[in-house]
Structures are given as C-alpha cells and as structure tokens.
Amino acid sequence: MGRSFDVTSLPGVTFVAGLAFLALYAPIVTLVAYSFNDANAISVWGGFSFRWYEAAWANREVQSATARSLVIASAASVIATSVATMAALGTTRRAAFRGQTFIYVAINQPLMVPEIVTAVALLIVFASVKVATGYAGLGYLILAHSAFCIPFAYLPIRARLEGMDLSLETAAADLYANPWQTFRHVTLPLLAPGIVAGAMLAFVISLDDVVITEFVKSAGQDTLPTYMLGQMRRAITPEVNAISTALLGLTVALLTVFFLLTRKRG
C-alpha cells in the first residue's frame, strides 16, 4: 500500500543532502585517486602507479616521522586510557560526592579550550622547562598528547561502566572474592570493550594532532601531520596524497573496529 503523501518529506531535503554527501566525499576521493597518479604534478593524470607510495616509503624524513607518530600515539593512548579507566571507575556507580562535577569538568576541559590556546600555553611552559632541565626529548609531546586524549578515552569507558549493573560484583564479593579479585576477574573483563574503544579513540586523536604538536615539538621532532603541514608550504607532490591516503586508511580501519565494539546489541 503506497502512501500518496509522506509527512516526513520536506521539499529539497534529498537534493541538499545528496549535494552535502557529494561535497563531503568528492575532495577525499580525489585526494585518494591522485595518490595513485603516475604524473609529477597533482593536476594531470598520468596513469595508475604506486610510485608515490614507494617514494614516501623510501623517504627518511617520512620514516622517522611515522615512527615518532606511532611511538607518541601508543604511549599517549596507553597513559590516557589507564588514567581515564581509573577516573571512570572513581566517578561512576557510587554515591555522588563533593567535587564530582569538578572532576568531570576538569577531565573534559581539553574539549572546551581552543587547541591554539592550549598549544601556546604548552609552548610557554615547556620552553622554560626545557631551559631549566636541559631535557628536550619526546616526553613533552607524550605528556601533552596524554592530556588531550584523556577525555576521548574517558567517555566510552564511562558509558560502558554506566551500562553495567553492580550485581555481578556483589555476587563475587558474596563468594569471598577480595576487591582486587573482583576487579580482575569480574569488572575488568566486562569493561574491556569500553577500554579498547577508549584506547582506539585516544590513538586516532593523538595520531591526527597538528596544532599542539607543532608548538610543543623541538627541532627535528616532526610527526607525520606536522611533516605534512611543512610540505604544504612548498610545492606539493603527490607524495603528500600517498601519506594522507595511508593515514586515512588507518583511521577508517580503527573507526570501523570502534563502531563494531561499541555497537548496541539487540
């Protein structure tokens, strides 16, 4: 039975939505397509090839920037996820306490402050610390990334915890499990999908950061995004397309896993 008049339809909606999806994807698809371009310039199509991937792969700067990005993202996501898990356990499923709102606001603070302001603040503070201590290693970047990754790790873990009821833990305690055993054998396995989801979001967020990294890094500490930003000031070769496409593929893969993990069942 067909309806002659669909009340939910508004004139032009499908048209504008179609244009929006086209506008969202056309530039990305173009970028990906030209990463396989055999020509030297971006605007001319010279046939299909992997040469820019090979060029990027062989580029020393790209190699070290990739390694640095992965080290920072791994360290920051492990740190952020660990402390965020503890904070989520401390702020959910318990009697409301004084300062709970403060903790909540403090954890979400990196989401509210413009990145450029945080970047400048870290530049100022770390510049003094670098002079005072003489240490100029990756520690600063890992600390900065850990901080802004905390809310991204915290939110999915907290959401998962709020959906878990306390009965299983109470049962474990009734059976004489001590608090650590209860946590290790009951809470942690139930919480695991939330922790993995939080860690993956943190990893993606760290991997993508440009602004804070650009201000905090010492000389010769380029990550993949800051290396790309530097390249954009010069004549752009499709090598940047190749790196972008690789990074894009990694992000999409991680996000797909994230959605499968956090998908509501039933």
Partner 1 sequence: MARRDSARSGWLLSAPALAILFLAASGPLLVVLIYSFLVKGQYGGVIWEFSSDAWFEVFFTRDIFSDEVSLADAHLAIFWRSVKLSLMTTAITFAVGFPTAWFIATRPPNRRALWLFLITIPFWTNLLIRTFAINEVIRNEGILNTLLIRAGLIGRPIQILYTDTAVLIGMTYVYLPLMVLPLFAAIDRFDMRLLEAAYDLYASRWQVLRRIILPLVRPGIVAGSILVFVPSLGAYVTPRVLGGGKNMMIGNFIELQFGQGRNWPLGAALSMLLLAIVMVALLIYVRAASRESGHG
Q: Which is nearer to partner 1, 55 or 211 (CB)?
A: 211
Nearest distance from residue 110's CB to partner 1, in Å? 5
Nearest distance from residue 150's CB to partner 1, in Å? 6
Q: Is residue 24 at the binding interface for partner 1, with CB under 8 A as the rule?
A: yes
Q: Which is nearer to partner 1, 56 or 204 (CB)?
A: 204
CB 87 within 8 A of CB 157: no
Q: Is residue 34 at the binding interface for partner 1, with CB under 8 A as the rule?
A: yes
Q: Which is nearer to partner 1, 39 or 190 (CB)?
A: 39
Please list every residue from 127 through 156 that binds partner 1, using CB under 8 A.
127, 143-144, 146-148, 150, 154
Within 10 Å of residue 122's Cβ, how many Cβ atoms? 21
Nearest distance from residue 225's CB to partner 1, in Å? 5
**Residues in contact with partner 1, shown as a per-residue x/- string from 40 to 79 under the rule CB under 8 A:** -xxx-----------------------------------x
Check residue 207 and report its DSSP letter.
H
Q: Is residue 114 at the binding interface for partner 1, with CB under 8 A as the rule?
A: yes
CB 195 within 8 A of CB 152: no
Give strand pairing partners of 48: 37
Nearest distance from residue 86's CB to partner 1, in Å? 4
Residue partners of 151: CB distance under 8 A and separation at least 6: 84, 107, 108, 109, 110, 111
How far are the Cα atoms of 157, 196, 235 from residue 202, in angstroms, in the given order? Answer: 12, 10, 32
Q: Is residue 120 at the binding interface for partner 1, with CB under 8 A as the rule?
A: yes
Burial class (CB in 10 A: 0-12, 13-18, 19+), 94: exposed
